[in-house]
Structure 1
């Protein structure tokens, strides 16, 4: 399966360009909607964008984006973009709750000693066992359902957010939510 971003969320817009990167045309720092890919984009002439606006970046005709300059590492983001990244990712997690609930319903073992769910912050073997027991009774339907049925799990949005940030900042070898 070809994993490519079709849409990206604006986390920082510099209408005058980015002098730190020697770019004189308007640039936009974005995070991908599906795989949280960090990208630097240029805009078509005369186009402006708003913070947290969703932009089409796929292979078809783009209405606002001229080009994708490059994929960025977490460390390449300006501090303002990093600050806005948290809101953007948490909004994406909330909008895609079903996708993340499915992750909890379908995640399996990585090997004989380690379960995929153990890669999430603050989730150990005992909690994984509770999750498996509960999802065998009935698949989870929402974050609230998971939090209500599995003792020891609080605020799944924050757990997922923390994992995504760890992946983006290069602290994790195994990618669960990013590419």
Structure 2
């Protein structure tokens, strides 16, 4: 791995969910004094951020930006954690599409979730946290992965009878974890940040 590849892999990246050229209306400053701002979502752990952007940049929704390390930032001037309720209506409407793109772009990672999911307690398995996956479907997935690990979402759907759109199921779970602060178990949102600590 080259030094530039190592540097890139150590960066926390985010996807722009909304770009507000005239800043956030909640800043309390007159519009002409506001810097461009918006909202972004971490590509690894789906954390949400309120972001201040460089005034010289014009961004589009879906652009990837560097959040950390601070000295590697070129477009982002400041980033602070945000909650689902903090997001603008534009960011709310983009959220599902951006998550879907991230799941599709990193299919191997998310297929591996089906391959590697483990029990949480004696009665609860990580697979049961996914919408629509009950005991029967969970057991089918576990049996099939014992025979051979899954290679793609398409293969998962072909080999596990009754499992439809395994990628959509993950998108739905990620959205649930983002929207509900009080969930007891989190599988995707905030996990990378916790693992790094």
> What TM-score range do you get, normalising by the shorter chain?
over 0.9
Match of 1:139? 149
1:156, CA displacement in angstroms? 1.3
Q: What's the TM-score once normalised by structure 1's chain length?
A: 0.93
Change in 2 beyond 3 A, CA 1:5/1:123:
farther
1:63-118 residue CA offsets vs partner (Å, 9 max, x unmatched): 111111x2111111111111011111100000011001111101111111111100
2:98 paired with 1:85? no
1:5, CA displacement in angstroms? 7.0
Match of 1:28? 38
Is the Cα–Cα contact under 8 Å of residues 24 and 38 in structure 2 kept in the other structure?
no
Tell me the secondary structure at the aligned position of residue 161 of structure 2.
coil
2:23 paired with 1:17? yes
Cα distance in 1 for partners of 2:12, 2:146 equals 34
2:18 paired with 1:8? no
Is the Cα–Cα contact under 8 Å of residues 14 and 65 in structure 2 kept in the other structure?
yes
Greater helix content: 2
Gaps of 5+ in 2: 1-9, 191-197
2:191 paired with 1:157? no
Q: How many residues align?
A: 175
Is the Cα–Cα contact under 8 Å of residues 12 and 80 in structure 1 kept in the other structure?
yes
Cα distance in 1 for partners of 2:61, 2:83 equals 20
Cα distance in 2 for partners of 1:119, 1:9 equals 26
Deviates more, 1:13-22 or 1:108-117: 13-22
Cα distance in 1 for partners of 2:165, 2:44 equals 21
Cα distance in 2 for partners of 1:108, 1:157 equals 18
1:18-47 residue CA offsets vs partner (Å, 9 max, x unmatched): 113436211021111111111011112312
2:81 paired with 1:71? yes
Cα distance in 2 for partners of 1:114, 1:77 equals 32
Is the Cα–Cα contact under 8 Å of residues 167 and 173 in structure 1 kept in the other structure?
no
Aligned structure 1 segments of 4 or more residues deviating by more than 2 angstroms: 20-23
Gaps of 5+ in 1: none
